[in-house]
Structure 1
Amino acid sequence: MSAVRPPVPPLALLPQPSPESPHCRRRYSPDATLLLVGFVGAGKKTLGIIASVGLRRRFIDFEAIFCQEAQLSPQDFIAQHGSARYRELELQLTRSLLKRCATGCVIVGLGWMANRQQQMLLGEFARDHPVVYVRRDRSDLQQFIATSPETFSRIFDAGNAFFQLCSSFDFFNRTQESTDYAGRPLPANMKLKETERVFLGFLQRIFGRVNRALYSSDPLSASHTYALQVPLTWLDQPDSELEALEGGADAINLVIDMDTYPLSELSEKAVKHMATIRKYTRVPVFAEVVPSQVDSARYRDMLQMLLRLAPDALVCPLGDTQMIEKLNKLKDTTSIIATYHQRVTSPANASGQKMRYLLETAQNLGCDALRITAEPRSPADNLQCVALQQALSEGSKIPIVVYCTGPLGRASTCLNPTLSPVVLPSMQDAGVSLQSAQQALASCFLLPKTLFTVFGQNVARSMSPALHNAAYAACGLPHIYNALPSDNFSDIHNLLNSADHGGVAVSLPYKTEVLPFLNEISPEAKDIRAVNTVVIERNHPTNGNQSTVLRGYNTDYIGIRDCIDKNLSPANAVRRGTSALIVGAGGMARAAIYACYQLGVQHICIYNRTPENARKLADYYSKWADSKPGTRLHLAVLRSLDDPWPITLRQPSIVVACLPVLQPYCQIPVTLQLSDAWLQSTTGGVFIDVCIPQ
């Protein structure tokens, strides 16, 4: 259904943006109201509802406020009273709304008729509140504006300038596909799931609540991390294999060449394809601009524009100190990576005064990392880069990245420990792929072959070895993963004491039994009182006395949490009254309750064939939750299949079955039975069976 948008003013009537404008600041109160602006049909209302649920805020649609006040829709009001009277009332209502609802809200629908006063009012609001310009493909927007292509183009240009002036961030709302990666039709209630994930992640970065995935490498750590180099031009190709973006790299670096498109078109494409990357990958996203050879002003404008996309990191030349200072003032959660390019120095000068000066400059400017690249004259120059990286890293407060460029520099790319640039498999002529980089480390014996084992009673047919070994091969890792089924827990000691082993995955029924034998236990595993992952860390101090540390983690709850989050439709997003049903009372049930708590579920019922064990589990988590700050956890026990669902609770939209496939110490299958009275959620939900057949 199309709608006619009122005319917007020509570009000349709108003030031009200033890089120093107050609304460029990006540090907000945690409860600051979020404002979404944009064209009709951009999806502001849908995103606003998603944000209001995800951020636990009140949703306000300005059009509803206007209709309530004027007893007419904006279109009908303009038809009866004219545009001038509409602007007057719109401005009055906008000023009142922004004053009354400055905190705890998500507002959409403002800026329906762009004008100078409205822009100034919204710009003033953006001083202390995030204002997001929701963008969409022009072809999608044109469906909602019934006019000629020429008129639409003028409306778009003027409106686009207006929304950019009164906002601090850009979010591109991708039109969602109707099928999944395998071509299967998506259920109607799941079509917005990826939009929800990407948009809420975007808002978390805006509000400074970036959550890095547990047990994932920090891209800026010195643990051989990799940044996948993705050219904007590649993303713009219709036949690009976007699934290749999720290939094991620790970060994605969006590379933007200033000379490929005009600035306005380049900005639109950067906004669009930042959203593309975030849809197809979950790792941090960096942005790097290849400077124009003729226009440095366009380059600086592009860097500032990229901050509107809330990237995880932005790359900027160290020589442009004014630009770095400006970016540091404007950024919040975005890291700044300073870069310097030179010809290779001799080893004697590798840690000389010039290099130390560069490092001190980067640190004094507040940069989060320093990247030095060089043009090699021979393959031997790669070793000079390695020496330079090691010399500068000693005593440095920030990570140091050093490598040679071009075909002759590929060895240094493999040896550099932090943010080594890797390319897509289809672009190996232009660089080193992730698989090749790690194979090179293994060939140099810098990445030793390590054994990993899944240990438990019924793991003979576990899928873990096949999954892990396939992943090792895809990423170029030399490791081997196998299974050891055993009815005797003491067999685990041979694995933990083996010099070849790097870790053990602990399966049923030993997840609690292993606890006393560990040197360190993660906070999550302590809370859950179960460990499913033991990492064997061997230290090699300078005195030659090798030590071994056994660290225990629980990753079961992460898998359960992410599975719930990924498959719970936006209609069933976790709210204050959300309920969950956990079936079982063992170690996996402990992880499931912890996962639900992490997602914000406050009401949980437990059903187990032995009610006493369910009661012990409920009592434990009740006391545990009471000792934690924040929201309380309410647990109830369903003693039999005849018990009704508690009348004070909503029907569960989350059901997690945590029963073993076989009964302990025998081969009798376990049968799952649930009461129909517990499965009456009118909006459906998600059912997860975490104990897959082995």
Structure 2
Amino acid sequence: MSGAPYRPPARLPRSFEPEASVVLIGIRGTGKSTLAVFASSAFQWRLVDADYAFHEATGLTHAEYKQRHGAHDYRARQLGVLQSVLHANPKRCVLVCGSSSGALEKTGQELLRDYARSHPVVYVVRDPKSLQGYLKDWQLDRITTILNHSGSVFRSCSNFEFYNLTEPKVNAEPSALRPALSAPTFLTLNHLERHFLKFITLVTSGAGIPSLESAYPLSQIRPEFRRYTYGMAVPLSAFVNHDLDVEELESGADVFELIVDDLTSPAKFEQFSCSRADQISDAFSRIRRGIIVPLLYHVRPGLAMDSEEAKTIYLDLIFHGLRLAPEYMSLDLSLDDNTFNEIVRMKGSTRIIGHLFVRGDHPPPWDSPSWIRSYERAKWLGCDIVRFLRPAFALEDNYAAQRFRDTVSNLPSPRPPVIAYNTGEMGRFSACFNPVLVPVTHPILQALEAPKPIIASVGGGHERSVPPPDVLRTFVRPCVTAASCTNALFSAFVYSPLRFYVVGDAAHKNPCPPMHEVAFQSCGMPHTCSWHQERNIEKLKELAGGSYFGGFSINDSLAIDTTSLSNLWSPHAKAVGAIDTIVPIRASSRASEPLGDLLDLMDTRNQPGPVKALYGDNTTWLGVRACIRRGLSPANAVTSRTSALIVGAGSTARAAAYAVLQLGVKNLFILNKHTEDSEGVVAHFQRLSSTFSHETNGDSTKGTNPLGSTAEFHILESWDTPWPVDFRQPTIIVSCISSSDCLATLLPSQWLKSATGAVVLDATEYTPPSSSVSVLAKQIQSEAHRGYISMGASDLMPEVGFAQFELFTGRRAPRNVMRREVRQRYIEIERACSDGNSYPSR
């Protein structure tokens, strides 16, 4: 860990009053102004830049004022403006304070440090090469030196840290079905915006930014409260030494665990440095940008936590991790009570996992009272979760771990969830059947981390391979994958293979069945998914009543007609007025409730038995919303003046309208060739809003508006109608008319006049027309130079599939796997269509 010594930051709080202003600090070129625009737009907060405030107060730039009045007067005025900016904007502001604001001066540091006691102060850092590209003529060594010096200062007066990644340029491969999304600059800014808003939501404990994933079924339940959840454990050294695909590693995981392994061996002990802190922040940022599951920050205590040197480095690493706002952090229970309590008081929104790994050849057995005492202490210290590990030396140790978990489950409430299992090859059984966040590995990591054997002499001139000592004594590497754990649950009859069906007129052309099949296989689930071309409701009910029925994915052609299939509807399905996903309820205690317990629904997935009721949901709106969020440029961030256009009036159009309303759009335009159908869509949502207002008597504290916000609906009479001059051009367009309808081919040019472009989603069908590729996609592709982004069925289907997979299985979807399958399927379809052949079959 070479580099400038790490100066431990001030130990500042991370809990604040609602709507406390956020401050961004850092040197020039780190991206503070861009990030501030993202946050102020998302929060609808005021943006205040200290440099502009200085110019406004003095009428001069910093350089002009310093030249005219001298360095002494300049510093005094500089700090006076900084103090004024901080004190005058305590709420609902995003403040930008660069190095020219006086933040590097001693008095400026004190001002920021004092402000950080009641506000989030975020140090924005960037890698030296990216800064060199921004600062042009500066030498890399000079930039690195400045970063090390300023980083130590900025960290001393801030309580959070954001590493602004510079992504490589994206070269998307266009196709007729799915043209290139955009220029690399757009994609980079889009990723950065989503990443920063995710971070800032955690920093502010949810200051009103709707998360991209917040409405997916499993996002509503913390992973520690679900059964059989997994944490993908990845060492920091693997990120430093290898170019890892984060999204690939995430597949099958419920939490992503970054293991800081600096203390693994006493031989590695070095002073914690600024460069190492930057390295950790970089890796953490790369992970968070690439995943949708929560992030767990774990500093592996190593073998020498009893030494003061190791403890100091451990605490430096812990306090640095808190600056990154992880959703979870482990904290070693060998720490004394005072130190532990201090960290818990500073955790902010981070949930603490009390961690205890008892190593050695003779760890206490699971029935030892010491484990219960340690659990009670962890509970008293304020841990949200408790994690106990010990090596296994006999098969009986695995059964003992289960008995210990049973003992904990019988303790009086409240009791934090417990993770208790044996490590090493012999402990795999207890790991597989540990129900809460067991650390798992991935085949990619297994190939990288395979320990090299040691050649030992056994006498007589013979040699043999033996495991290295750390494997014999510490057993810290996970020995199971998420897929192998899930497969073990099926092999042990905890779970059973179920049958899923895609239902609809064009189901045999639908890539949905193979998408779910490969997802099941990837996760170690022997379920099946096949198409079922059936319109007879009674026959579908008979199919859904089977003991091994898993669920229906209903094609748009049947979405309205299947209302009588489902006994219970989700709130979203009620709001849309249509269901596209049906799963069985087998727990009789919940059969009479409108799904008052989503956890119960998820925990009974993958299990056969009599069907008590059928639960219907709508996932199309989730897919539409995800596509819009992914394709919407930062320049078109939703504001009160944003306009959206929905083409169509069927169930997909209702889902699209609901999606844009949930995004906060207040001006919604509907077009359909039959005006009365458009009026029906408007009447549906107005009735929904009116019912909510009546039930709550206008009191917003009594519930959440199902439409997300109050909106104005407008009906366009025809394709020839000019866009209303009183409204902005649409920056969100969703086409929901069948591709066989000639009206679905092109959008009128007078509706494509947005100066900042738009995201255009063609949600017509899951399969393209056999006679031609999407004309709409070609039209929007031709407007890409003006910022118009085309998205289609190959984008929408995986997003819908992710939500359906969660409802089907109660597990996170392997997103990369499903996207690849759909992409490959559409390439085959496109190739067959261009050759004049029929749809390929599998």
> Scaled by the length of structure 2, what TM-score is found?
0.75
Secondary structure of residue in 1 paired with 2:760: strand
CA–CA separation in structure 2 for the residues paired with 1:488 and 1:76? 80
Name the aligned partner's letter for residue 254 of structure 1: L
Name the aligned partner's letter for residue 233 of structure 1: S
Other-structure match for 2:186: 189
> In the superposition, relative to structure 1, how do residues 509 and 115 fare at CA in structure 2: closer, same or farther (>3 Å)?
same
Other-structure match for 2:485: 437
Other-structure match for 1:178: 169
CA–CA separation in structure 1 for the residues paired with 2:517 and 2:160? 42
Residue among 134, 148, 160 paired with 1:157: 148
Other-structure match for 1:634: 712
CA–CA separation in structure 2 for the residues paired with 1:643 and 1:545? 56
The answer on whether the counterparts of 2:624 and 2:656 sit within 8 Å (CA) in structure 1 is yes
**Cα shift at 1:540:** 7.7
Other-structure match for 2:457: none
CA–CA separation in structure 1 for the residues paired with 2:766 and 2:352? 47
The answer on whether the counterparts of 2:588 and 2:612 sit within 8 Å (CA) in structure 1 is no
CA–CA separation in structure 2 for the residues paired with 1:344 and 1:521? 54
The answer on whether the counterparts of 2:580 and 2:620 sit within 8 Å (CA) in structure 1 is yes
CA–CA separation in structure 2 for the residues paired with 1:334 and 1:648? 46
The answer on whether the counterparts of 2:432 and 2:485 sit within 8 Å (CA) in structure 1 is yes
Q: How does 1:357-436 map to 2 (within 5 A)?
A: 357-395=373-411, 397-428=415-446, 429=450, 430=477, 431-436=479-484
Residue among 319, 322, 330 paired with 1:307: 322
More moved, 183-192 vs 432-441? 183-192
Name the aligned partner's letter for residue 571 of structure 1: A
CA–CA separation in structure 1 for the residues paired with 2:355 and 2:25? 35
Are 2:693 and 1:691 aligned? Answer: no
The answer on whether the counterparts of 1:540 and 1:546 sit within 8 Å (CA) in structure 2 is no
> In the superposition, relative to structure 1, how do residues 151 and 496 fare at CA in structure 2: closer, same or farther (>3 Å)?
closer
Name the aligned partner's letter for residue 301 of structure 1: D
More moved, 513-522 vs 121-130? 513-522
Q: How does 1:289-688 map to 2 (within 5 A)?
A: 289-291=299-301, 293=304, 294=307, 295-320=310-335, 321-342=337-358, 350=366, 353-395=369-411, 397-428=415-446, 429=450, 430=477, 431-539=479-587, 548-626=612-690, 627=692, 629=700, 631-661=709-739, 671-688=744-761
**Cα shift at 1:603:** 0.6
More moved, 205-214 vs 57-66? 205-214
Secondary structure of residue in 2 paired with 1:460: helix
The answer on whether the counterparts of 1:489 and 1:510 sit within 8 Å (CA) in structure 2 is no
Question: C-alpha deviations, 1:28-70, integer Å up to 9, x for none?
Answer: 2332221100011111111111111111112222222222333
The answer on whether the counterparts of 2:547 and 2:610 sit within 8 Å (CA) in structure 1 is no
**Cα shift at 1:267:** 1.9
The answer on whether the counterparts of 1:502 and 1:537 sit within 8 Å (CA) in structure 2 is no
Residue among 269, 276, 281 paired with 1:266: 276
> In the superposition, relative to structure 1, how do residues 554 and 688 fare at CA in structure 2: closer, same or farther (>3 Å)?
same
The answer on whether the counterparts of 2:232 and 2:441 sit within 8 Å (CA) in structure 1 is yes
Question: C-alpha deviations, 1:496-518, integer Å up to 9, x for none?
Answer: 10111111112223323333443
Name the aligned partner's letter for residue 573 of structure 1: A
Other-structure match for 1:204: 201
Other-structure match for 1:666: none
Other-structure match for 1:249: 253
Residue among 71, 87, 98 paired with 2:75: 87
**Cα shift at 1:333:** 1.7
Name the aligned partner's letter for residue 640 of structure 1: S
Residue among 266, 270, 283 paired with 2:293: 283
Question: C-alpha deviations, 1:360-381, integer Å up to 9, x for none?
Answer: 2222222111111111112332
Gaps of 5+ in 2: 175-179, 451-476, 590-607, 694-699, 768-842
The answer on whether the counterparts of 1:351 and 1:391 sit within 8 Å (CA) in structure 2 is no
**Cα shift at 1:288:** 0.4
The answer on whether the counterparts of 1:469 and 1:481 sit within 8 Å (CA) in structure 2 is yes
Secondary structure of residue in 2 paired with 1:84: helix
More moved, 273-282 vs 143-152? 143-152
Other-structure match for 1:118: 108
**Cα shift at 1:17:** 4.3
Secondary structure of residue in 2 paired with 1:597: helix
Residue among 42, 55, 63 paired with 2:30: 42
> In the superposition, relative to structure 1, how do residues 307 and 578 fare at CA in structure 2: closer, same or farther (>3 Å)?
same
CA–CA separation in structure 1 for the residues paired with 2:366 and 2:689? 55
CA–CA separation in structure 2 for the residues paired with 1:368 and 1:74? 48
Secondary structure of residue in 2 paired with 1:118: helix
Secondary structure of residue in 1 paired with 2:259: strand
Residue among 192, 211, 229 paired with 2:233: 229
Name the aligned partner's letter for residue 135 of structure 1: V
Are 2:204 and 1:140 aligned? Answer: no
CA–CA separation in structure 2 for the residues paired with 1:182 and 1:403? 46
Other-structure match for 1:129: 119
Name the aligned partner's letter for residue 318 of structure 1: L
Secondary structure of residue in 1 paired with 2:638: coil
CA–CA separation in structure 1 for the residues paired with 2:372 and 2:489? 28
> In the superposition, relative to structure 1, how do residues 17 and 246 fare at CA in structure 2: closer, same or farther (>3 Å)?
closer
Gaps of 5+ in 1: 1-10, 664-668
Secondary structure of residue in 1 paired with 2:225: coil
CA–CA separation in structure 2 for the residues paired with 1:73 and 1:394? 68
CA–CA separation in structure 2 for the residues paired with 1:451 and 1:312? 35
More moved, 642-651 vs 573-582? 642-651
Residue among 19, 22, 31 paired with 2:19: 31
The answer on whether the counterparts of 2:36 and 2:95 sit within 8 Å (CA) in structure 1 is yes
Question: C-alpha deviations, 1:591-639, integer Å up to 9, x for none?
Answer: 1111111111111000012111111211221232353547411101112
**Cα shift at 1:389:** 1.9
**Cα shift at 1:685:** 0.7
CA–CA separation in structure 1 for the residues paired with 2:149 and 2:353? 35
CA–CA separation in structure 2 for the residues paired with 1:370 and 1:344? 21
**Cα shift at 1:153:** 4.9
Residue among 34, 38, 62 paired with 2:50: 62
The answer on whether the counterparts of 2:25 and 2:96 sit within 8 Å (CA) in structure 1 is yes
More moved, 319-328 vs 401-410? 319-328
> Scaled by the length of structure 1, what TM-score is found?
0.90
**Cα shift at 1:252:** 0.3
**Cα shift at 1:181:** 7.5
Aligned Cα RMSD in Å?
2.8
Count of aligned pairs = 671
More moved, 599-608 vs 621-630? 621-630
Name the aligned partner's letter for residue 472 of structure 1: F
The answer on whether the counterparts of 1:226 and 1:422 sit within 8 Å (CA) in structure 2 is yes
In percent, how many aligned pairs have the same letter? 31
Name the aligned partner's letter for residue 594 of structure 1: Y
**Cα shift at 1:352:** 6.0
Secondary structure of residue in 2 paired with 1:659: coil
Name the aligned partner's letter for residue 436 of structure 2: T
Other-structure match for 1:5: none
Other-structure match for 2:601: none
Question: C-alpha deviations, 1:229-252, integer Å up to 9, x for none?
Answer: 011011112433344233221110
CA–CA separation in structure 2 for the residues paired with 1:344 and 1:527? 58
The answer on whether the counterparts of 1:622 and 1:633 sit within 8 Å (CA) in structure 2 is no
Name the aligned partner's letter for residue 158 of structure 1: H
